[in-house]
Structure 1
Amino acid sequence: LYPYFANQTELSFAIFDWVARQLNDQIKTELFGLSGREGLIALAVAMRREGLAHVRLTQYLLSIPRDTANADMQQGTDLFRDLLGGMIRPVFQHSRVRLIAVRWLRDLIVGDVVNIGAGWFIDQGISADDSFELALTASLDRLTLEDQQDTQDD
């Protein structure tokens, strides 16, 4: 591989970009026509599902330090930012709430993948899928209230 990549870091960035493009294309196809809150929920569920289906790859990709100077890393990151931002934009009016929404959803998805992948969610009192959907719904409900509050403050 070294004729193509100068070192392990460059190879990691290229892998990140390739996976990001594949996942982006797959999810866009899967979610075609969905929008609003329904689309946002479907996006989060799909990203979590794919992360869990390829948990070792996901863990590897999450371990790569972000490098905004690397074009491959930045392009891959931009794909996810644009996809998530595009789904959030119609749901929430205010930029502050949109930023919180991006962070919360990313935290929920990544947190679930990391915890389930590491074997932490073994309590059968509630399935990991059900607890994810409850946390997702509760987060979106709270963000909706926050967005409405920001509207009243304007």
Structure 2
Amino acid sequence: MADLQDLKEITGETTEAVEVAVEDRKPVVDELGRTYATGKRKDAVARVWIKPGTGTITVNGRDQEVYFARPTLRLVVGQPFDVTERVGQYDVVCTVKGGGLSGQAGAVKHGISKALQLAEPELRGVLKAAGFLTRDARVVERKKFGRAKARRSFQFSKR
């Protein structure tokens, strides 16, 4: 099978049916004009609502500059807008729980990416290529018994 024509011969369907399925996605917007998504990273979970606006980002009732004091964390949160060239076009309101600030910033980024993809389905390819729609499954390894930490042994004493 080299292309869609071969698929047509196998299934007996036309190629238009396959192409329409990709473009069939519709924006998911509630009655207030918002799009909702949940983002996760490490132990942090972010509930994100986006709506067309001026580009303000509010995290747990505080401005982004106050909540994420480090510039690198603010850069992480803004990455989905930079990649899709939508800077300043959406207002973001999110609540985030669990984890540390780095995990929370990653969770907000994941939530914004998912919400953007739901608001504008044609952005899915760009966000997926950048790797923003994939949930980063890396979490802290648990501590094992007989060990000081997850992998570190207790200090060896010869005498």
Same fold (TM over 0.5): no
Return the TM-score normalized by structure 1: 0.25
Please identify the structure whose Cα radius of gyration is greater: 2
Return the TM-score normalized by structure 2: 0.24
Which has the larger share of helix?
1
